[in-house]
């Protein structure tokens, strides 16, 4: 691992301070750094790179921030499976499992090749309007179609392959990966899915029919969602970070991407350790 990508949450001063310390530590070990362009000057570098460029060229990418920062990196992943080490700068994250105190000992082991990878599936979402492909996205957590703040309940016609499921009358619909099952889907009543399970979860948001419950599908399923409501403010949201306005008749096709994200597992905690910590299981 000679070329190291470095993505730092800009609006967090402690992340910038740690990033400078980390850069010096890596330079002392003869590593070439690729800092993200948004924070390169604050880190003391004259030049930076876009996240997509980092994921194309780096041998390892280190993320200093939180789960949101890591999601922004994961969406830029390509066919090169670049290991990502997520370091949480606040409370423990579902994706950024490594704490700041564990960073340098963990990184020592990673550079020596003593680490485990957890592969996380991405979803690809394609927006079609009037029979024409408008845009395509990939997400690690979820694809969400929901109404705007002042819109009424919307109608979402859902197909799995060539099989009609139903037309949800709801505030929206979440299509989530196992990774995203602990995000918006969980808040909307969806199940927690172990990241090792190859499935996709459909979770309606505040459905008008209370028997519309979340559905777990095999991850090879092709989900099509057609917006059947006119004259309402409806948004397609990707990982809660990017958005696109939808029009009546628009179709969003969602399937498993051929790309996976390689997350470096923390040697100090399991998925269930994180669940107990984040969700306070076992506490009274």
Q: How far apart are CA 71 and CA 240, in angstroms?
A: 9
**What does the alpha-carbon distance between residue 147 and residue 145 come to, in Å, rounded to a whole number?**
7
Three-state DSSP class for 221? coil
And the tokens for 10?
């800009």
Question: How many angstroms separate the most distant Cα atoms in the chain?
Answer: 61
Tell me the three-class secondary structure of 57-107, residue by residue: HCCEEEEEECHHHHHHHHCCCCCCCCEEEEEECCCCCCCCCEEHHHHHHHH
Q: Which residues pair with 201 in a beta bridge?
A: 176, 216
- CA 208 to CA 224: how far, in whole Å? 20
Q: Is 59 one of the annotated active-site residues of the chain?
A: no
Q: Which of 2, 37, 38, 67 is catalytic?
A: 67
Q: Measuring CA to CA, which residue among 86, 90, 55, 52 is closest to residue 70? A: 86
Active site residues: 67
């Amino acid at each position: 691992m000679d070329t190291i990508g470095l993505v730092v949450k800009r609006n967090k001063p402690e992340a910038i301070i740690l990033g400078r310390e980390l850069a010096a530590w890596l330079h002392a070990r003869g590593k070439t750094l690729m800092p993200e362009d948004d924070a390169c000057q604050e880190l003391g570098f004259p030049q930076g790179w876009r996240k997509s460029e980092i994921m194309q060229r780096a041998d390892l990418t280190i993320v200093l921030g939180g789960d949101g920062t890591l999601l922004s990196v994961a969406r830029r992943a390509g066919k090169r499976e670049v290991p990502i080490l997520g370091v949480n700068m606040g409370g423990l994250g579902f994706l950024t499992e490594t704490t700041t105190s564990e960073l340098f000992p963990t990184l020592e082991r990673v550079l020596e090749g003593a680490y485990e990878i957890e592969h996380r599936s991405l979803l690809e979402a394609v927006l079609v309007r009037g029979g024409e492909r408008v845009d395509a996205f990939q997400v690690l957590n979820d694809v969400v179609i929901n109404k705007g703040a002042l819109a009424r309940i919307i109608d979402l016609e859902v197909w799995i392959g060539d099989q009609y499921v139903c037309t949800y009358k709801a505030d929206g619909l979440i299509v989530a990966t196992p990774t995203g099952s602990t995000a918006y889907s969980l808040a909307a009543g969806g199940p927690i899915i172990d990241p090792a399970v190859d499935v996709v979860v459909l979770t309606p948001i505040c459905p008008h029919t209370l028997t519309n419950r979340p559905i777990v599908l095999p991850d090879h399923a092709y989900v099509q969602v057609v917006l059947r409501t006119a004259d309402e403010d409806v948004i397609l949201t990707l990982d809660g970070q990017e958005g696109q306005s939808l029009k009546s008749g628009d179709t969003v096709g969602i399937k498993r991407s051929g790309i996976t994200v390689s997350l470096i597992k923390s040697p100090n905690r399991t998925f269930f350790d994180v669940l107990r910590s984040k969700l306070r299981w076992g506490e009274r």
